[in-house]
């Protein structure tokens, strides 16, 4: 059990006084709160956020909340300050210590008030931190918290209580009840936690479901000394690929810093994009029950087609946590997923994104093939297409949405247009997407074709239209 150490943060940082500080508004985002520590998000700021959360809780008649943190260096001190603020604002706090985001979401599903907040910098650089929040079983937007900060009155209220709780066993028990892998000892899996918070749970989870586990970088270390915990970037998967090949493993799994995303490497060392492994997950789920499957606008048309072929209902959603969770609820979907690797199981799990759980479900789906097919063989059965990874063009937060609006209004692209998030154009031989990033000053693009020529053709069409419509942009794809 993690001890709680109530430290006075002003004592630790005598040069910081309340008078000198004010809350930096740029950290409050649509999906969450994110900023650099200590410049933008520090013990003072998180204290003010705690007071705002207490206002939100009181509005919703909620008197208690669970909190946790990922493995970042600033996590413990921020969590102490956050607990102190919540308790002083009259909220009863359960501190579940260092956990993955999914473990906190799990706690917020099983506790009485269905409320929890994790202090996490996710996959961002090591000096970043932030908050992901669920109150009354609903995600809370950073923008809403900012509006509540303006209502803070600083009145003296009866203090709440503080207790600690270790949820590891309860979480592992439910995961092992939910996942059923036939012949699990047949599967040798390499687990790369990237020194992120997943290290505290993922190796144990895969041992409990019965697999043979080879661990990489399980020690939680906020300096991320081996590689950055972001499996969407190929450069962060090199150690995993090497280990899978050297150990003749059946697959490799990598998680991001707070364990809510998963990356997959096949037995032959190939990195599989999430929209492709979602095909295997969709087939597995739809073979047992029919229903909707949600995916974001960055996903392949082949996923849509496969869901239809398996008598499911494909639902495309805008990119972002908020939108995917909302669309899953609206359609009572069985599964949701994003190209970034956030996968939400809602068939026999709680509908939140959970990297290690998703990895275990990938092995479960693999084990359903009676002839012991390898994951590489299975991936090769899906339609071959040629796609770019997510491509970015640097712009500014101020002009990114206007650029997209101009593109939608003025483009001469010939194809079927979809504008749920930026512009996606479907052609007979592929598709293209251009949208504004929710989280950074960038345009996000992705292209797919049935042949490499088709893919390049669609990409060239989009880029020449972008150059014509917004000639001031420097088109440098990264």
As annotated, the active-site residues are 122
Residue with smaller CB distance to Zn ion, 100 or 266: 100
Q: Provide the 8-state DSSP code for 251.
A: E
Rounded to a whole number of angstroms, the minimum distance from the CB of residue 264 to Zn ion is: 16
Q: Which two tokens stand for residue 435?
A: 């949208």
Which neighbouring-strand residues pair with 213? 189
Rounded to a whole number of angstroms, the minimum distance from the CB of residue 137 to Zn ion is: 20
Cα(214)–Cα(357) distance, rounded to whole angstroms?
17
> Is 155 buried (19+), middle (13-18) or exposed (0-12) by CB count in 10 A?
exposed
Residue with smaller CB distance to Zn ion, 71 or 314: 71
Question: Are 452 and 386 contacting, i.e. CB atoms less than 8 angstroms apart?
Answer: yes
Q: Which two tokens stand for residue 356?
A: 């290690």
Rounded to a whole number of angstroms, the minimum distance from the CB of residue 198 to Zn ion is: 10
Complete DSSP assignment for 267-300: TTS-EE-HHHHHHHHHHHHHTT---EEEEETTS-
Helices (H), 375-451: 375-380, 400-410
Contacts of residue 220, Cβ cutoff 8 Å, sequence gap at least 6: 71, 98, 193, 195, 196, 197, 199, 200
Residue with smaller CB distance to Zn ion, 94 or 100: 100
Residue with smaller CB distance to Zn ion, 215 or 258: 258
Rounded to a whole number of angstroms, the minimum distance from the CB of residue 261 to Zn ion is: 5
Cα(367)–Cα(425) distance, rounded to whole angstroms?
37
**Scanning the structure block, which residue is given the tokens 């706690």?**
107
Residue with smaller CB distance to Zn ion, 258 or 461: 258
Question: Are 460 and 428 contacting, i.e. CB atoms less than 8 angstroms apart?
Answer: no
Residue with smaller CB distance to Zn ion, 258 or 283: 258
Rounded to a whole number of angstroms, the minimum distance from the CB of residue 399 to Zn ion is: 28
Rounded to a whole number of angstroms, the minimum distance from the CB of residue 368 to Zn ion is: 28
Complete DSSP assignment for 327-383: HHHHHT-SEEE-TTS-EEE-SSS-SSB-HHHHHHHHHHHHHT-TT---HHHHHHTSP
Q: Which two tokens stand for residue 389?
A: 């990874």
Q: Provide the 8-state DSSP code for 236.
A: G
Rounded to a whole number of angstroms, the minimum distance from the CB of residue 123 to Zn ion is: 5
Residue with smaller CB distance to Zn ion, 215 or 230: 230
Cα(358)–Cα(337) distance, rounded to whole angstroms?
10
Cα(460)–Cα(162) distance, rounded to whole angstroms?
58
Reported in sequence order, the residue ranges of 144-226 that DSSP labels E, i.e. its strands, are 162-164, 188-192, 212-216
Residue with smaller CB distance to Zn ion, 123 or 302: 123
**Residues at the site binding Zn ion, with contacts judged by CB under 5 A:** 122, 256, 258, 260
Cα(54)–Cα(51) distance, rounded to whole angstroms?
5
Residue with smaller CB distance to Zn ion, 198 or 379: 198
The torsion of the CA quartet 251, 252, 256, 261, rounded to 10 degrees, works out to 0
Rounded to a whole number of angstroms, the minimum distance from the CB of residue 207 to Zn ion is: 23
Cα(99)–Cα(92) distance, rounded to whole angstroms?
20
Contacts of residue 242, Cβ cutoff 8 Å, sequence gap at least 6: none
Collapse the DSSP code of 422 into the 3-class scheme (helix H, G, I; strand E, B; otherwise coil) and give the result: coil
**Scanning the structure block, which residue is given the tokens 């203090």?**
159
Rounded to a whole number of angstroms, the minimum distance from the CB of residue 104 to Zn ion is: 12
**Scanning the structure block, which residue is given the tokens 């063009």?**
393
Tell me which residue has its CB nearest to Zn ion. Answer: 122
């Amino acid at each position: 059990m993690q001890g709680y150490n109530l430290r006075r943060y002003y004592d630790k940082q005598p040069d910081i006084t309340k008078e000198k500080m004010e809350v930096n508004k740029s950290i409050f985002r649509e999906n969450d709160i994110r900023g650099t520590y200590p410049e933008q998000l520090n013990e003072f700021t998180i204290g003010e956020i705690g007071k705002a959360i207490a206002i939100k809780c009181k509005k919703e008649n909620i008197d208690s909340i669970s909190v946790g943190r990922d493995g970042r260096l600033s996590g413990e001190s921020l969590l102490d300050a956050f607990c102190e603020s919540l308790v002083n604002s009259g909220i009863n706090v359960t501190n579940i210590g260092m956990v993955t985001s999914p473990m906190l979401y799990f706690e917020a599903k099983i506790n009485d008030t269905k409320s929890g907040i994790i202090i996490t910098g996710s996959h961002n650089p090591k000096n970043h931190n932030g908050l992901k929040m669920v109150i009354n079983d609903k995600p809370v937007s950073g923008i809403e918290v900012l509006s509540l900060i303006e209502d803070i009155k600083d009145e003296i209220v009866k203090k709440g209580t503080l207790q600690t709780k270790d949820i590891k066993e309860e979480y592992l028990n439910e995961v092992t009840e939910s996942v059923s892998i036939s012949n699990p000892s047949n599967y040798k899996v390499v687990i790369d936690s990237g020194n992120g918070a997943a290290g505290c749970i993922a190796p144990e989870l895969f041992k409990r479901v019965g697999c043979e586990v080879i661990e990489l970088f399980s020690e939680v270390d906020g300096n991320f000394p081996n590689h950055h915990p972001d499996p969407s970037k190929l450069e962060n998967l090199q150690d995993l690929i090497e280990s899978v090949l050297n150990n003749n493993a059946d697959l490799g799994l990598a998680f991001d810093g707070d364990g809510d995303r998963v990356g997959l490497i096949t037995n032959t060392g190939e990195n599989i994009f999430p929209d492709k492994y979602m095909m295997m997950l969709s087939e597995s789920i739809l073979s047992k029950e029919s229903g909707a499957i949600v995916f974001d606008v960055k996903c392949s048309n082949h996923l849509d087609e496969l869901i239809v072929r398996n008598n499911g209902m494909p639902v495309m959603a805008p990119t972002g946590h908020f939108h995917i969770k909302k669309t899953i609820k609206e359609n009572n979907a069985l599964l949701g997923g994003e190209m970034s690797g956030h996968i939400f199981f809602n068939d026999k799990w709680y509908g939140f994104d959970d990297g290690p759980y998703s990895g275990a479900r990938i092995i479960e789906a693999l084990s359903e093939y009676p002839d012991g097919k390898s994951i590489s063989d299975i991936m090769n059965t899906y339609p071959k297409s040629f796609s770019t990874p997510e491509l970015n063009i640097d712009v500014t937060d101020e002009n990114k949405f206007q650029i997209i609006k101009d593109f939608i209004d003025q483009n001469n692209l010939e194809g079927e247009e979809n504008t749920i998030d930026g512009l996606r154009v479907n052609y007979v031989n592929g598709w293209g997407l251009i949208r504004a990033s929710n989280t950074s000053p960038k345009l996000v693009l992705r292209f797919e074709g049935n042949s490499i020529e088709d893919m390049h053709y669609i990409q060239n069409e989009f880029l020449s239209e972008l150059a014509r419509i917004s000639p001031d942009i420097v088109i440098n794809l990264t």
